[in-house]
A and B are shown apart, each in its own frame.
Chain A
Amino acid sequence: MRTALVLLLMLAAAAVPGSIYPQRSADPNGVSKFFDDNPDLAKILDGIQLFDVYTSAWFSAIYILLFISLIGCVLPRTIAHAKNLFEAPVATPSNLRRMPAFLATKLGKAAQREAIERAESLLRKQRYRVARQVDADGGVSFSAERGYARETGNLVFHVALIGVLFAVGLGGGFSYSGQRVLVEGETFVNNLAGYDSFSPGAFFKPEMLTPFSVTLDKFKATFDLQNETNIGTPLDFRADVTSRLVGVDGKTTESHSVIRVNEPLEMPGSKLYLTGNGYAPVITIRDKNGDVAFSGPTEFLPQDRNYTSLGVIKVPDGAGPQFGILAFFYPTQDKLNTGAKTSIYPDPIDPLLTMNVYVGDLGLDSGQPKNVFQLDIKSMKQVAGGKSGVKGLELVPGQTVKLPKNLGTVTFDGIKRYASLDVSYNPGGLWVLIFALLALAGVTLSLTIPRRRVWVAVRDGELQVAALARGDDPALERVVAEITAELTMAEAPSGTAAGGSSTEGKTND
């Protein structure tokens, strides 16, 4: 027990740093930000796995030791308990007065006989396991025990925890989860190329991906415009999708469904969750010759609750030099006192797109993967917006404006929305749940069912009832009193020694 206790406390303490430092599993962006902000400290922390606490060597060591100690404890106890279940209750101790709860009642001979005769059936009725004993002096006593479920529950709880651990481990190995951003009208095909990011478990194979496709027909966000104190609060996000699934017979079945935040779409072998959304303004850029250099919806990242959104457009292949655009989208524009623009409502009531333009090397040829939401402006020259001397561009839907430096024109064609979908599969989940519920049932039994031994004997001319609890038992004295009352009341109708009985009790509780 002491080992388990110390390991449990160590486990609790070891889990704390994972809530203080960003974790790669839960918050990868937080980790990269930490590395940017404190590069030296980050290296040290990373060296002792503080960004991967829950898969770290030291955290794993503690819980593995805990489970080894658990198995080492549960195995012998299971064997002992199994034996116990088939054995008769222990022999009645020679001195019952020493028990924590004890009552003795003086009774006449006839009443004694009657009480001891009734004792067995009474104890059995109260679901005790009862053994009849004959003492050395020939007196009869009953030894009874109940509450075996307390130990059973305790063992079930601990074994179920091992089950949880295995289900988590194995399930995690066969699981996968991937992310995909879909603009209205776009289709996602469930293969590795279809994902923006993908994290497979250790035993994952690409064949595990069921061939299906999902098209985002429409994304609808509803915001409160009615309740004064609640304006702009999201009320509902709903993605209307069409899914196509190729059956074994080669035929494609098509169905329409809705994905909401708490209502994932269940496809065979995976579930699709709605995890985010935003605006994707449709933008067309023509170079100085009028040829299209860029066209299409661009996903913008929401920056606040009113969906002020930031997007980046990179134009590497126009007729002129390479240039990039840092754009802000305001669904419902307004001006702050400082003169800066802001959005005051998340739906596009009065939308505005503003752009700062930078000319120079976009760094796309270096072969290194680039974040599509970032524009590396270090080696670029700003030609519109900021301190460039040229006003930043401002567009409303349908509007076309000229780009500076004869770069061409830009058109704000319209507004689409996008949905971030998460595709997840974890076959362990159901098993984790089953074992967790078993553990809950087990721990409830083991903490609430009292395990107690009760003895009823006729000794020294008195009826003796005694009880002993294993563990906490709030009812011990009451039980002894009740059994005594039941057994001595029986004499009243037969009218033998009703008036002459006296009760001597004792509690060590």
Chain B
Amino acid sequence: MTSALLNENLSQISLLFIYGAMALYTFSFLAFATHLSRLASTKEASRKTASGVEKFAMVMLILSAIVHAIGVVLRGIAANRVPWANMYEFSITGSLIVVVIFLFSLLIRDVRLIATFISGITLLVLGLATSVWYIKVKTLMPALQSYWLVIHVLVAVLATAFFSIATAFAVVYLLRDAAWLAKAKGKLFGFVRRVIELFPSSDKLEKSAYRFNIIGFILWSFTLIAGAIWAERAWHRYWGWDTKEVWTFIIWTIYAGYLHANATRGWTGKRSAWLALVGFAAIIFNFTIVNLFFKGLHVYSGLK
């Protein structure tokens, strides 16, 4: 690692692709949202046009993913390494993986209805990444020069992606069974109720959330172990309760609680769905607040 050449021009081109992907995700998000609202419409003529809108939205989503992927790959080439060494890169790579996993999930089962959520959240993450977390392309600091960067972080991104999709299901599940929503008066709530009605039964939503969460949990366990192996090499101990280690542990424990809740009478259903949401909130907290404001060894946001 003496003279890794960085290509700032290429990194600018990569950024353009990310902006392009954001524009396409916006179309996709709006189209998916329109699709949902048409489906939920009380007018039959409106409902009939829904599937055409959905096709357009899906094409847009695939296009966005391709442009997004080019942006990520170019960033990697510009940096001469894996594109996930700081918050900006972690965000663009992580959100791409969410979209890719979602697209692949479509092949296995019909999860189209959460597409609005997926495209929306991706747009939000890319917006934050480009506006708040963006940094110019940098080399790796010596502590990050390890093949564990590829394994540990990639699996963490994958786990986060699975947890995100599971969270989408859990949110819809909770809305579907929410008593306040069923009682709430007003046009908007009526519309939300009709949208929620479009989704599969609560039982199916709950199971989908569970299945994505268990994959997330297995990957998260692996992230934790891989992190400990790397810490043993880089920081002379496998576990030292560094703030990031603490939060990785907290997240693991919450999801372990979620798994237990799913097998505990009185805790299945809503309570376990809430636990899944708490777990995901901890992930978001770990990635944003802990990265930016907590003192610790994982100071890799690249921001000052």
**Measuring CB to CB, which residues of chain A are less than 8 angstroms from any residue of chain B?**
1-2, 4-5, 8-9, 11-12, 15-16, 18-20, 22-23, 25-27, 30, 53-54, 168, 177, 222, 224, 226-230, 233-237, 260-264, 271, 273, 275, 422, 424, 426, 429, 432-433, 436-437, 439-440, 443-444, 447-448, 471-472, 474, 509
Contacts and interface: CB of A to CB of B under 8 A. Distances in A.
A424 B3 contact: no
Contacts of B295: 22, 27, 30
B106 to A, nearest CB: 16
Contacts of A54: 241
B5 A15 contact: no
Interface in B256-270: 256-257, 259-264, 266-267
Contacts of A18: 241, 246
A291 B203 CA distance: 88
B163 to A, nearest CB: 14
B237 A177 contact: yes
Pick the 3 closest A-B CB pairs, nearest first: A261-B142, A12-B253, A8-B257
Interface in B5-52: 5-6, 8
B233 A262 contact: yes
Contacts of B5: 226-227
B236 A177 contact: yes
24 contacts: A2-B267, A4-B260, A5-B261, A5-B267, A8-B260, A16-B246, A53-B241, A177-B236, A227-B8, A229-B138, A230-B139, A235-B2, A235-B139, A236-B142, A261-B143, A264-B236, A271-B236, A273-B236, A275-B235, A422-B236, A432-B228, A433-B228, A439-B221, A443-B218
Interface string B127-166: 0000000001111011101101000000000000000000
Given A8-B260, A9-B257, A26 B242 contact: yes
A228 B267 contact: no
B229 interface: yes
Given A15-B246, A15-B250, A443-B217, A2 B257 contact: no
A325 B198 CA distance: 76
B179 interface: no
Given A229-B8, A234-B142, 15 more contacts: A2-B264, A2-B266, A9-B253, A9-B257, A12-B253, A19-B246, A19-B296, A25-B240, A229-B136, A261-B143, A262-B142, A432-B228, A439-B221, A440-B222, A448-B214
Contacts of A474: 207, 211
Nearest to A432: B238
A229 B257 CA distance: 45
Contacts of B236: 177, 264, 271, 273, 275, 422, 424
Given A222-B2, A261-B145, A230 B138 contact: yes
B290 interface: yes
Interface of B: 1-6, 8, 136-139, 141-143, 145-146, 148, 203, 207, 210-211, 214, 217-218, 221-222, 225, 228-229, 232-243, 246-247, 249-250, 253-254, 256-257, 259-264, 266-267, 275, 282, 290, 294-296
A135 B233 CA distance: 63
Given A19-B290, A237-B142, A262-B142, A5 B264 contact: yes
A444 B145 contact: no
B240 A26 contact: yes
Contact of A440 (B221, B247, B262, B266): B221
A167 to B, nearest CB: 10
Given A226-B5, A236-B1, A275-B236, A15 B141 contact: no
A1 B148 CA distance: 36
A117 to B, nearest CB: 35
A234 B233 contact: no
A433 B138 CA distance: 33
A437 B221 CA distance: 9
Given A2-B264, A26-B240, A271-B236, A12 B254 contact: yes
Contacts of B257: 5, 8-9, 12
Contacts of A230: 6, 136-139
Contacts of A426: 237-238
A266 B139 CA distance: 28
A262 B139 contact: no
A233 B249 contact: no
Contacts of A448: 214, 218
Contact of A16 (B229, B250, B267): B250
Contact of B4 (A26, A228, A235, A440): A235
Contacts of A471: 263
Q: Which of B8, B138, B207, B246: most chain A CB closer than 10 A?
A: B246
B103 to A, nearest CB: 20
Contacts of A226: 3, 5
Nearest to B204: A509
A498 B172 CA distance: 46
Nearest to A221: B142
A233 B236 CA distance: 23
Contacts of B243: 19
Contacts of A236: 1-2, 142, 145
Nearest to B146: A262
Nearest to A509: B203
A233 B221 contact: no
Contacts of A234: 141-142
Contacts of A224: 139
A447 B214 contact: yes
Contacts of A15: 246, 249-250, 253
B250 A227 contact: no
A27 B296 CA distance: 8
B278 to A, nearest CB: 9
Given A27-B295, A264-B236, A1 B3 contact: no
A437 B256 CA distance: 17
Contacts of B263: 1, 471
A229 B137 CA distance: 7
A263 B6 CA distance: 24
A440 B218 contact: yes
Given A1-B260, A9-B257, A236-B1, A472 B139 contact: no
Contacts of A4: 260
Contacts of B148: 262
